[in-house]
Amino acid sequence: MALEDAKKQIDLAFTRKDRKGLAYENAFGGATSFLRREYSKDLTGVDIAVTGVPFDQAVTNRTGTRFGPRAIREASTLQPYDPPIGWGFDPLGDFSIIDYGDLAFDYAHTPSFPPLLTDHISTILSAGAASVTLGGDHSITLPILKAYAEKYGPMSVIQFDAHSDLWADDDFDRIDHGTFMYKAVKLGYVDPKRSVQIGIRTECDDYLGMHYIDARSVHEMGLPWVIERAKSIVGQNPTYVTFDIDALDPAFAPGTGTPVWGGLASWQAAALLRDLAGINMVGGDVVEVSPPFDHGNITAVAGAHVAMELCCLNLWNKRK
């Protein structure tokens, strides 16, 4: 059946007649929506709206993550032929996932960007859907968290990252990917005592009450210990999962702006995301994929897998 479908399926981003179902379109052809889902602004009945935010004006080192959403979408065409392994259900067949397209914004007027993004995500949430966002640099998570906090109250966050992004910065008009979590805590979007950062391997003077598990602890203590601790911290509080691709070691994700050695292996990240199943995950993002510094698209492939896992994590508690 798959072979027969592959012969006739093309541009499913625009031609698919049902939002549910696997896709067998040739990976190398056609319109590259995320996982060959329908491009649509109609949120009726949607479980997850995947959206791109091609913004990278807030980086401290190498720009290029504005091209991340496009690269992740292209890399995702390798995945929609089968249900993702290890989850035991078919998110593409059982749920309505759309590609909501990218956020439109004026690249030359950065102060207007955060409220535009908050409104964009709020539109998705008010329709009863969850968002999975493809970044972009990590500053985009702050206005996204504002939208989630307006709906759910102070959020629990699980942050996969090499950096804490807790640099002190009380100028709340500044947009900086290294200060977004500091501001999210100070503004009350995030409950630090019910949040945890995983994979950290750079210095932080003050974690503002956030729990953290550095990369060495992940390696030495083992994944079951990490999962048990993370789940005990967030409990069943509404939880947002943000995955900075530099949580992975540069050997597994060279295409990022601020790589740091000693990070997670891709198998560790895959297992951690899978075993977080059961948390009250209400939204998430994958950020900092920078195609100009990628090799063989391996970072984009990793980003596409993370985005798929985030969809599974969100849908886990809704499966029949």
Burial 220-257 (b: 16+ CB within 10 A, else e): eeeeeebbeebbebbeebbbbbbbbbbbbbbebbbbbb
Residue 138 annotated as part of some ligand binding site: yes
Residue 214 assigned ligand-binding role: no
Angstrom distance (rounded) from CA 319 to CA 282: 14
To the question of whether residue 165 is assigned a binding role by annotation, the answer is yes
Q: How far is it, in rounded angstroms, from Cα 5 to Cα 2?
A: 5
Establish whether 177 is an annotated binding residue. Answer: no
Asked whether residue 161 is marked as a ligand-binding residue, the answer is yes
* Residue indicated by tokens 């100009």: 292
Coil, helix or strand for 8?
helix
Q: What is the CA radius of gyration of the chain?
A: 18
Torsion (CA) 196, 201, 203, 204 in degrees, nearest 10: -10
Alpha carbon distance 172, 153 (integer Å): 20
Strand partners, 190: 155
Q: Which residues are annotated as a binding site for Mn(2+)?
A: 138, 161, 163, 165, 244, 246
Q: Which residues are annotated as a binding site?
A: 138, 161, 163, 165, 244, 246
